[in-house]
Structure 1
Amino acid sequence: MKHWERALIAPDATLRDALRNIDATGAGIALVVDPDRRLVGTLSDGDIRRALIRGENLDGPCGAFANVAPATASAEMDPASRLGLLRSRKLRQLPLIDDQGRVVGLSTVSDFLEMPERTEAVVIMAGGRGTRLAELTANTPKPMLKVGPRPMLDTVVDAFAAQGFRRIFLSINYRGEQIEAHFGDGSERGLHIRYLREDGPRGTCGALSLLPTDVTGDVLVTNGDVLTKMDYGRVADDHAVAGAAATVVVRDYEMQVPFGVINADQGRVLGIEEKPSQVYRINAGVYVLSPSARELVPSEGSFDMPQLLQSLIDEGRSVRAHRAEGYWVDVGRMADFARANEDYGAVFEGG
């Protein structure tokens, strides 16, 4: 929020002053702080209204009526996590504090609606059944499984929304009606959400053939079960600068042999390497595709992303790798699901 400092008020200011403060800022909240700007509490117009109903006087000190345990966020928390926290806790405002408890900012839901809109469309593949999580997905599509306090698809969508991506297509099949009921047309989130309804399994990119003809530019594609702190805007920008047909996001993945490895020649031991590791570059499940690349997706049947990328390579087209850092987990197995839930609070709500 711009000019968030106007929301600050001293504990000995009156409730009347607090009302004027809230009205002037339009933030819907006053931040009660001590002389060092440490957060004492928050005071919403609802808090004041309830105080008046109880018979309190408008000339009383506002600090006496503040919520002294409000939800806050670290100043270092990224925008996507702030938006996720606002939505998961059904908040309108989120004070930002430093490690000394001092107020250094204020995030509101409207902040994200004012962010410049990206031109690229986003396709989130959310049609799979999740057979490796079968005990959890008997009645729920995998992207709607809760990781932390909300469905993981919420976290994926919020990550794009927080970076200015507004036009989102959700590819649905298995129990897709649950996804449609949850997200609707996206208007309540400030988004434009539409659905690519698969009439059967279409593979990991077959649903791209269902995109409407008005999608003419580059498209970001991601799996609905990939939770990451990725900078999608940078991926899209670098793809455009490179003029590539496709970009695949890659990550380094280390695998360690849990034993000592013997290097031997004709029965003679030449050396022993204790528990060596090998680093592989893996597909992170996030892509950018140019319009010409999408033309290779057949209109019917199942088609997987590796098939599309290989077809482009075989034609001599440019397929670039974009190396991404930061948190990433593909929630495909029970162990990954457990890890994502264990990590969620620190990664997506802890800054």
Structure 2
Amino acid sequence: MLDFSDAWLSTVISEEFTIKEVIENLNKTGLKIALIKGADNKLLGTISDGDIRGAIMKGVSLSELAISISSRAPLVVPTEVHRDTVIKLMYINKVTHIPVVDDSGNLVGLHAWNELVKSPLNNIMVIMAGGRGSRLMPHTQDTPKPMLLVAGKPMLLHIIERASNEGITKFIISTNYLADSIKNYFGDGSQFGVNISYLEEVSPLGTAGALGLIDFITDEPIVVMNGDVITDISLSELIGFHRRHGAVATMAVREHEWQNPYGVILTNGLQITGIEEKPIIRSHINAGVYVIDPVALSFLQKNIAMDMTTLFELLRMNAQPVVAYPMHEPWLDVGRPSDLSLANSTVRSGKK
């Protein structure tokens, strides 16, 4: 169960409150929401700062009862819900507050985004966006793969917004193919509320080689992500996992299932020892999301190409602790035209 302060109690109002009284309450609490509670302690509705602004724009009298402009069936969560789940619900539903109710439906608390995500993460995020995207031709003929639109926005913007919502404010984008398209769109990141700088690959350096161009010093683990990955992975949880396991490098991995379309014959010499009809093969695949300690950068050479899997193997052979982070969150590697179509339909519909 999550803990929350008693500050939420100041947001509770009765159904007799007028819109004007709610405005006074919102200004007093600063929490930008009011919770309407009935005499039986049940939640009757919520009124957000946006609801108030909308009513004013429509010319609704401030003397009207506030319940008339409230959300009568707001999103709520039970008391035992996990913090990460609350954050994801807020992100998906684009809300900053979720009331908490017990098993009887009684109002017992309120989760607020600015309390769940209290401070920015000091970690830098590097996004690998230099690939040509040959498998996505002709879509990538004049557009770098990370700039292809998913639900009306470049994939790269989806990645930055998702990370920004978790508290990451400093980004480095590694560029090569059609680099100006990326730089002209994002600039220094200020218009998106973040700070963006760039690594320029003169020639393709692979999924890890561009890290060898980093010339700053940091004590914090670096988050690295491929620019063609759409996922709801919790970066803060990934960083925490990395630290808890004392890793130098952590790779997010996904379970992948593949069904052999044929019957597999097991033999011992010429003797048939068994038959497996279309067996399902399960394995873990690289999800394209990593956390790397700065010490790992010493294993890279400037302007020498290297893939991330090679870096992990090099670290492992040098007795550096490398671990896998098994993820279950929605994930899609947009590498083919069919993946791009799936990403668009999924994000537009709000599905996982």
Corresponding residue to 2:90 among 82, 87, 96: 82
Name the counterpart of 1:90. none
1:170 pairs with 2:170:
no
What are the residue-to-residue correspondences of 1:99-114 with 2, within 5 Å?
105=110, 107=112
Corresponding residue to 2:20 among 8, 16, 34: 16
Q: Which runs of 5+ in 2 are unaligned?
A: none
Letter in 2 for 1:96: I
Name the counterpart of 1:214. 217
Task: Tell me how far apart the structure 2 counterparts of residues 80 and 211 of structure 1 sit (CA, whole Å).
Answer: 32
Name the counterpart of 1:225. 228
CA drift at 1:294:
0.7
Corresponding residue to 2:57 among 28, 32, 50: 50
CA drift at 1:225:
1.7
Q: Deviations over 1:100-119 (max 9, x none)?
A: 999864655x557x623333
Distance 1:280 1:97, change over 3 A: same
SS at match of 2:305: coil
1:96 pairs with 2:77:
no
Q: Is the 8 A contact 1:33 1:40 kept in 2?
A: no
Q: Is the 8 A contact 2:228 2:335 kept in 1?
A: yes
SS at match of 1:317: coil
Matched length: 336
Task: Tell me how far apart the structure 2 counterparts of residues 332 and 184 of structure 1 sit (CA, whole Å).
Answer: 25
Q: Deviations over 1:168-224 (max 9, x none)?
A: 222223344444455444456553332223333222122212223233442121112
Name the counterpart of 2:284. 281
Task: Tell me how far apart the structure 2 counterparts of residues 307 and 322 of structure 1 sit (CA, whole Å).
Answer: 18
Letter in 2 for 1:263: L
Q: Is the 8 A contact 2:257 2:282 kept in 1?
A: yes
Q: Is the 8 A contact 1:293 1:312 kept in 2?
A: yes
Q: Deviations over 1:233-279 (max 9, x none)?
A: 34333433444432223232121112322335677655332110111
Q: Is the 8 A contact 1:41 1:68 kept in 2?
A: yes
Q: Deviations over 1:262-313 (max 9, x none)?
A: 3356776553321101112222222222223212222124332233223333
Task: Tell me how far apart the structure 2 counterparts of residues 8 and 325 of structure 1 sit (CA, whole Å).
Answer: 37
What are the residue-to-residue correspondences of 1:179-218 with 2, within 5 Å?
179-187=182-190, 190-218=193-221
Q: Deviations over 1:148-185 (max 9, x none)?
A: 45333333224433433333222223344444455444
Distance 1:345 1:27, change over 3 A: farther
CA drift at 1:339:
3.2
Q: Is the 8 A contact 2:163 2:235 kept in 1?
A: yes
1:253 pairs with 2:256:
yes
Q: Deviations over 1:37-81 (max 9, x none)?
A: 143765644234325xx4x543232344x26599x6564755256
1:305 pairs with 2:308:
yes
Letter in 2 for 1:37: L
Q: Is the 8 A contact 1:125 1:171 kept in 2?
A: yes
Corresponding residue to 1:39 among 45, 62, 65: 45
SS at match of 1:272: strand
Letter in 1 for 2:25: N
Q: Which runs of 5+ in 1 are unaligned?
A: 87-92
Name the counterpart of 2:128. 125
Task: Tell me how far apart the structure 2 counterparts of residues 81 and 181 of structure 1 sit (CA, whole Å).
Answer: 33
Q: What is the TM-score when the length of structure 1 is the normalising length?
A: 0.77
Task: Tell me how far apart the structure 2 counterparts of residues 97 and 138 of structure 1 sit (CA, whole Å).
Answer: 48
Distance 1:11 1:345, change over 3 A: farther
Distance 1:188 1:203, change over 3 A: same
Distance 1:240 1:252, change over 3 A: same
Letter in 1 for 2:87: P
SS at match of 1:235: helix
Q: Is the 8 A contact 2:146 2:156 kept in 1?
A: yes
Aligned CA-pair RMSD: 3.7
SS at match of 2:218: coil
Q: Is the 8 A contact 1:7 1:22 kept in 2?
A: yes
Corresponding residue to 2:322 among 303, 319, 322: 319
Task: Tell me how far apart the structure 2 counterparts of residues 101 and 129 of structure 1 sit (CA, whole Å).
Answer: 53
Q: Is the 8 A contact 1:84 1:158 kept in 2?
A: no
Q: Deviations over 1:320-343 (max 9, x none)?
A: 333333322212122333333344
